[in-house]
Structure 1
Amino acid sequence: MTQKTFHTSLAAAALVALLAAAGPAAAQTHDPATPPTVASKIALRGEANGIAVREMRIVRRNDILSVQADMANMGRTDRTVFYRFRWLDSVGNQVGDGEVWKQMTVLGLGQQTVKSVAPTGAAVDLRLEMNVEPR
């Protein structure tokens, strides 16, 4: 191995270690009441601000995915949530044109269920994108 190759490999290893160390610090902040398996399906834009996605049910009917997600407001004040579902194919690419952002109010200590259906049978996974207003 030449000295240049060694330095390049060392720099690449350092970059990988740096990204691995920065991973948890850059992780999204989900409400503690959101189970980890559900949190893996959520793309949070900003803070959760007391909104927890307690349960997510994903079903394939007639070769089309459908989802229902229960959002709970853990606080006493009403929260405005903007959300949309992003449908993904087997390699993680977006399927379809994407949904528009929807707005919903979750009352203090209340729960709301959101639903969606994939645009095509090519969708095998999803992400629930959310933005919760701080108040």
Structure 2
Amino acid sequence: MFKRILVLCAASLALTAQAQSQDPGTPAAVAAKVALRGESQGVRVSEIRITRPNDILVVQADLANGERADRTVFYRFRWLDTVGNQVGDGESWKQMGLLGKGQQTVKSVAPSGIATDFRLEMNVEK
């Protein structure tokens, strides 16, 4: 029982630390879908749109750069089933240049109808 509580506390702290590393302007519902690796460097996910045509999950995410300096963003989508297990082999990392004060949309389609959830993993370089 004690181990379970300890694991839950550690998970809670990890999620809190992750949420704190997000840009404060990122809505909480959006931040829950984003796994940021490192600092945001002024880049935030301003909006996520989800559709399910033909029972396949399709996600579009708007990335906004709040800084004047250009940023390089590496991203990938991790697709999950109803219990949180990864669906498919996973996407490879994609690279995108994001101009200062600019915004760009990224899009991905789930590998199968088994995917019911996702995480957008991001790494932002200066």
Runs (4+) off by over 2 Å: 11-28
Question: Which amino acid in 1 is paired with 2:98?
Answer: V
TM-aligned CA deviation for residue 17 of structure 1: 8.2
Quote the residue 2:116 is aligned against. 124
Q: Is 1:79–2:78 an aligned residue pair? A: no
Using the aligned pairs only, state the percent identity: 64
Question: Which amino acid in 1 is paired with 2:25?
Answer: A
Quote the residue 1:93 is aligned against. 85
Question: Which amino acid in 2 is paired with 1:51?
Answer: V
TM-aligned CA deviation for residue 117 of structure 1: 0.3
- Cα distance change on mapping 1:15 and 1:99 into 2, 3 Å: closer
Unaligned 5+ segments in structure 2 are none
Quote the residue 1:35 is aligned against. 27
Length, aligned pairs only: 125
Q: Which has the larger radius of gyration?
A: 1
TM-score under structure 1 length normalisation = 0.84
Unaligned 5+ segments in structure 1 are 1-8
Quote the residue 2:50 is aligned against. 58
TM-score under structure 2 length normalisation = 0.89
CA distance in 1, matches of 2:8, 2:117: 29
- Cα distance change on mapping 1:32 and 1:121 into 2, 3 Å: same
